[in-house]
Amino acid sequence: MVGLIATMNGSSPLNFGTVDASNLPDLNHALISPLLIIEQSFDRVVPTSLKPILFERYESLQNIPGKTYSARASYAVRIQGATINPTNPGLLAYAVLFKPGDGTGSDSKQYSLEGLTVPEELRSPFHPSSVVPRMKEGIHTEFVWPLLSAIGESGFVGVGSLEEVTVKGNELVVCQTEGVSTDAFQKIARQTSLGGGIKNYPFSPQITVGYEGERRVGDPHATIYPVSKLPSEFPQLMQVALFLALPSENHPLYESCMKLVERKFGE
């Protein structure tokens, strides 16, 4: 489908802005479509007793002081369509806005930027510590969905390309790409020259941290958007990804999320 959310209120075209001046209200509006697609995908796999699974916006995209990414929104996950308690929403999924150089990492008691060898192509000139992986304590499995990549009046629903990095010895290494390959992402970025509007692509979640049998994978990690992914001759797309962390394999959504995963960790 093309143009599914290309206009707001049936008139004004959405304009997402640029990496230097993002338009958070229009980005918020554009997330309606991919979240609806995710709800529909859950409807195909969850037991009838859990339906419907709904993602209700709890906090709109906004800058979070102290974070090394550009903005974050939260969505209360409504199992059986349950009403959300405004003061205690329960399980939250987080939509994170990444611009080139952003990441989810930070210095911690386990790892610090000073103690790591960071390849040049993974370094951030804006948030140096954003590449430092963190331990995922209290998380059994986390899933990530690519929601949107956008610039100006061009948006690509279900498309993203972020790098997940971890520590090997004292070196920062990529353990998997979250989304499409860099080459595929660059080809999509070039499509912005073909005009505005929203284009939809099929998408599914990946595991960022979890288990392969008894082996723990993706712990520690950080998700980053390297500036090297889109060299200066490419349109500088912003990316929004949705993260859902579950505390246990006994969580009612665990089996359903696993059914939606199409790629093994690291593929």
Does residue 265 form part of some domain? no
Provide the mean pLDDT of the chain.
93
Does residue 51 form part of some domain? yes
> Each residue of 20-35: pLDDT tens digit?
999 999 999 999 999 9
Does residue 242 form part of some domain? yes
> Each residue of 222-232: pLDDT tens digit?
999 999 999 99
Tell me the CA distances in angstroms from 138 to 182, 217, 253, one per residue in order.
31, 14, 16
**What is the number of structural domains in the chain?**
1
Does residue 266 form part of some domain? no
Scored b (16 or more CB within 10 A) or e, 233-257 reads eebbbbbbbbbbbbeeeebebbebb
Does residue 2 form part of some domain? no
Does residue 43 form part of some domain? yes
pLDDT for 195: 73
Does residue 1 form part of some domain? no
pTM for this prediction: 0.94
Q: Residue 145 corresponds to which tokens in the numbers above?
A: 């969905």
Burial class for 11, CB neighbours closer than 10 Å (0-12, 13-18, 19+) = exposed
Does residue 197 form part of some domain? yes
Q: Give the domain range for residue 182.
A: 7-260
> Each residue of 35-83: pLDDT tens digit?
999 999 999 999 999 999 999 999 999 999 999 999 999 999 999 988 7
